[in-house]
């Protein structure tokens, strides 16, 4: 009977449960006793059988207790489960089996927890994307990569993170804004846009120095102007590249792949990256300017050194011509050619630190003076080392007197540690030195110098480079 009563009560509200419990616990036994007391039966029962009355009362109290306990247990369980969830176990859910207010509360709480869990997952994903983007871009900005490669990586990473179909980084030049790098589906993208183009969103972002987030619905007319005729974006997000209060250009992303519009989160991310990108562009411009000035200065110094020594006048220019022809024969890329050209121009810059009495001394040098003279590659390296981007040239300058058999100076590097550009530089330098007058000897003829190169092939010089050099002479 008690079980049936509990089961039927489980479908009722908590207030009803409580009322019924109190009725069962107190009011019903009380009414029963009062009723019995007014009847003859009651008098008899009370007089002769108090145990029966007591039995009824105890039964009522027990039933009331069981029902009240059931309510309290479900509240306690709810509180305990809620505590578990609020302590971080968001995957946990509160069990529901009944149909009262406590159960309803549990279901609402489960629903809220599910939504919270989803939001947290979304936030974690956004955080992961942002961290990934920043990590890749920071590592690119801290590397030796050229600015174009850094910007390409920045744009590609941002484009992937925001699920955009394409993107551009454009910088202003004269009265236009021109593409510096681009990524993705770029068919029809205009390579440059006039700053007078009032309807362009990119120009608007540049001129107003404000991020623009425009979708087809919000600015269909404007979206046409970023592309050549016949093409148009469905959505575009662009931010100005601001550095020290100056606008350098615009970074833009176009057409989300799932056809959504760009979100507020996307705006925050692009704005953060725009300022980093602008700083990178500005720093690169400043570095290029400093490096250009530095190279020009030391090139002038190199010429001054040559001018001081009549025997080496024109030496660097001739060596430069030889290395460039050899670089062509070995199909070296543009970067390697530029590096070799600068190394050839600057390889003897260290002679600026050699005393005139040694540099210009007629006749053979004593061992001590020769050792002093042999310091010029190291002095040269030290002159170039302060500029980070000249490190590779500094390396060539340091080792331009190495020999493939390991008997050169200053590093005594053997063949396997000597790079191809360095092998090219040593052959070109040695040939020009042999065919020039020196204070201690007359210049060799071309044939004599070629014979000398052949004789020293495989010991002083790399045999492959010597072979190619003899062919192009
Ligand atoms: Fe030298
Ligand atoms: Fe030289």
With helix as H, strand as E and coil as C, how does the chain read? CHHHHHHHHCCCCHHHHHHHHHHHHHHHHHHHHHHHHHCHHHHHHHHHCHHHHHHHHHHHHHHHHHHHHHHHHHHHHHHHHHHHHHCCCCCCCCCCCCCCHHHHHHHHHHHHHHHHHHHHHHHHHHHHHHHHHHHHHHHHHCCCCCHHHHHHHHHHHHHHHCCEEEEEEEEEECCEEEEEEEEECCCCECCEEECCCCCCHHHHHHHHCCCEEEEHHHHHHHHHHHECCCCCCCEEEEEEEEECCEEEEEEEEEEECCCCCCCHHHHHHHHHHHHHHHHHHHHHHHHHHHHHHHHHHHHHHHHHHHHHCHHHCCHHHHHHHHHHHHHHHCCCCHHHHHHHHHHHHHCCHHHHHCCHHHHCCCCCCCHHHHHHHCCHHHHHHHHHCCCHHHHHHHHHHHCCCCCCECCCCCCCCEHHHCCHHHHHHHHHHHHHHHCCCECCECCCCHHHHHHHHHHCECCCECHHHHHHHHHHC
Tell me the three state secondary structure of residue 177. strand
pLDDT given at position 458: 96
Q: Using the mean position of ligand 2's atoms as its centre, give its distance from the Cα of residue 433 in Å.
A: 7
Closest CA to 473 of 419, 431, 421, 425: 431
Residue 294 CA to residue 139 CA, distance in Å, equals: 27
Assess contact for 395 and 417: CB atoms under 8 A.
no
Centre of ligand 2 from the C-alpha of residue 400, in Å? 8
Residue 211 has what pLDDT? 95
- The ligand placed nearest to the CA atom of residue 434 is 2
Beta bridge partners of 235: 215
CA of 316 to the centre of ligand 2 (A): 7
Q: Backbone dihedral region of 263: left (phi > 0), alpha (psi from -120 to 50 degrees) or beta?
A: beta
Cis amide leading into 410 (omega within 30): yes
Distance, CA 389 to ligand 2 centroid (Å)? Answer: 22
Closest ligand relative to 401 C-alpha: 1
Q: Which ligand is nearest to the CA of 432?
A: 2
Ligand 1 centre and the CA of 355: distance in Å?
A: 15
How far is residue 147 from each of residues 140, 152, 153, measured CA to CA in Å? Answer: 9, 9, 10
Query: How far apart are the CA of 427 and the centre of ligand 1, in A?
Result: 12
CA 345 to chain centre: 37
Give the contacts of 414 (CB within 8 A, at least 6 positions apart).
404, 405, 406
pLDDT given at position 329: 96
- CA 435 – ligand 1 centroid, Å: 15
Angle formed by the axes of helices 391-398 and 376-384, nearest 10°: 180
Counted residue by residue, the chain has a size of 473
Distance (Å, rounded) from C-alpha 417 to C-alpha 410? 13
Quote the pLDDT of residue 386.
Answer: 83
Pick the ligand that lies closest to the CA of residue 430: 2
Which pLDDT value is given to residue 442? Answer: 86
Residue 430 CA to ligand 1 center (angstroms) comes to 9
Distance from C-alpha of 117 to C-alpha of 133, rounded to nearest angstrom: 24
Q: Under a CB-based contact definition with an 8 Å cutoff, are residues 171 and 249 in contact?
A: yes
The pLDDT of residue 341: 93
Distance (Å) from CA 132 to ligand 1 centroid:
47
Nearest to 266 by CA among 281, 252, 285, 287: 252
For the chain (length 473 residues), average pLDDT per consecutive 10? 58 67 71 72 64 71 76 75 74 70 76 81 74 71 72 87 90 90 81 84 92 73 59 84 94 84 88 89 86 81 77 88 96 93 92 86 85 94 85 94 96 95 97 87 92 96 97 92
Residue 224 alpha carbon to ligand 1 centre in Å: 61
Handedness of CA 229, 230, 235, 241 (dihedral sign): negative
| d(CA 344, ligand 1 centre) in Å | 10
Are the beta carbons of 253 and 167 closer than 8 angstroms? yes
Q: Which ligand gives the minimal distance to the CA of 398?
A: 1
Could you tell me the distance, in angstroms and rounded to a whole number, from the CA of residue 311 to the centre of ligand 1?
13
Query: What is the distance in A from the centroid of ligand 2 to the CA of 366?
Result: 20
Per-residue model confidence (pLDDT) at position 188: 72
Query: How far apart are the C-alpha atoms of 131 and 121, rounded to whole Å?
Result: 15
pLDDT at 433: 93
Q: What's the CA-to-centroid distance between 296 and ligand 1, angstroms?
A: 20
Distance 429 CA to ligand 2 centre (A): 5
Which ligand is nearest the CA of 400, by number? 1
Q: Using CA of residue 260, residue 263, residue 267, residue 272, what is the dihedral sign? A: negative
> Please, which residues bridge with residue 178 across strands?
171, 192
Proximal ligand: closest to the CA of 410: 1
CB 85 within 8 A of CB 113: yes
Q: Check residue 363 and give its pLDDT.
A: 78
> Residue 348 C-alpha to ligand 2 middle, in angstroms?
5
Which of 292, 462, 302, 313 shows the shortest CA–CA distance to 390? 292
412 Cα: distance to centroid of ligand 2 (angstroms): 18
Give the Cα separation of 194 and 359 in Å (integer): 58
Q: Closest Cα partner for 206 from 177, 182, 168?
A: 177
Nearest ligand, CA 315:
2
């Amino acid at each position: 009977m008690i079980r049936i009563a509990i089961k039927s009560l489980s479908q009722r509200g908590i207030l009803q449960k409580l009322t019924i419990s109190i009725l069962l616990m107190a009011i019903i036994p009380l009414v029963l006793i009062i009723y019995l007391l007014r009847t003859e039966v009651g008098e008899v029962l009370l007089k002769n059988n108090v145990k029966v009355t007591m039995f009824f009362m105890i039964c009522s109290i027990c039933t009331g207790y069981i029902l009240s306990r059931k309510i309290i247990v479900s509240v306690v369980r709810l509180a305990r489960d809620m505590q578990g969830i609020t302590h971080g176990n968001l995957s946990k859910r509160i069990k529901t089996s009944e149909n009262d207010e406590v159960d309803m509360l549990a279901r609402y709480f489960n629903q809220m927890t599910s939504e919270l869990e989803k939001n947290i997952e979304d936030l974690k994903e956004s955080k992961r994307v942002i961290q990934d983007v920043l990590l890749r871009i920071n590592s690119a900005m801290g590397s030796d990569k050229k600015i174009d490669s850094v910007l390409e990586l920045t744009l590609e990473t941002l484009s992937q993170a925001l699920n955009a179909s394409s993107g551009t980084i454009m910088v202003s030049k004269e009265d236009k804004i021109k593409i510096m790098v681009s990524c993705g589906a770029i068919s029809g993208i205009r390579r440059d846009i006039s700053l007078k183009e009032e309807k362009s969103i990119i120009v608007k972002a540049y001129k107003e120095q404000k991020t623009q987030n425009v979708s087809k619905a919000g600015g269909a007319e404007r979206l046409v102007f970023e592309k050549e005729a016949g093409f148009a974006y469905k959505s575009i997000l662009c931010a100005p590249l601001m550095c020290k209060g100056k606008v350098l250009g615009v970074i833009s992303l176009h057409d989300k792949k799932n056809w959504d519009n760009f979100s507020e989160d996307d705006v925050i991310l692009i704005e953060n990256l725009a300022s980093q990108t602008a700083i990178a562009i500005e720093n690169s411009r400043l570095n290029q300017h400093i490096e250009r000035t530095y190279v020009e200065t030391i090139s002038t110094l190199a010429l001054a050194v040559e001018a001081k020594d009549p025997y080496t006048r024109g030496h660097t220019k001739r060596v430069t011509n030889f290395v460039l022809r050899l670089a062509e024969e070995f199909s070296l890329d543009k970067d390697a050619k530029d590096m070799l050209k600068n190394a050839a121009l600057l390889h003897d810059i260290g002679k600026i630190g050699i005393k005139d009495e040694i540099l210009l001394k007629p006749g053979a040098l004593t061992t001590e003076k020769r050792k002093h003279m042999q310091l010029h590659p190291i002095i040269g390296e030290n002159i170039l080392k302060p500029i980070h981007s000249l490190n590779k040239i500094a390396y060539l300058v340091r080792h331009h007197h190495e020999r493939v058999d390991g008997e050169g100076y200053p590093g005594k590097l053997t063949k396997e540690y000597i790079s191809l550009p360095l092998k090219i530089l040593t052959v070109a330098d040695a040939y020009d030195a042999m065919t020039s007058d020196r204070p201690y000897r007359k210049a060799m003829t071309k044939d004599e110098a070629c014979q000398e190169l052949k004789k020293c092939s495989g010991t002083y010089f790399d045999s492959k480079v010597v072979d190619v050099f003899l062919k192009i002479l």
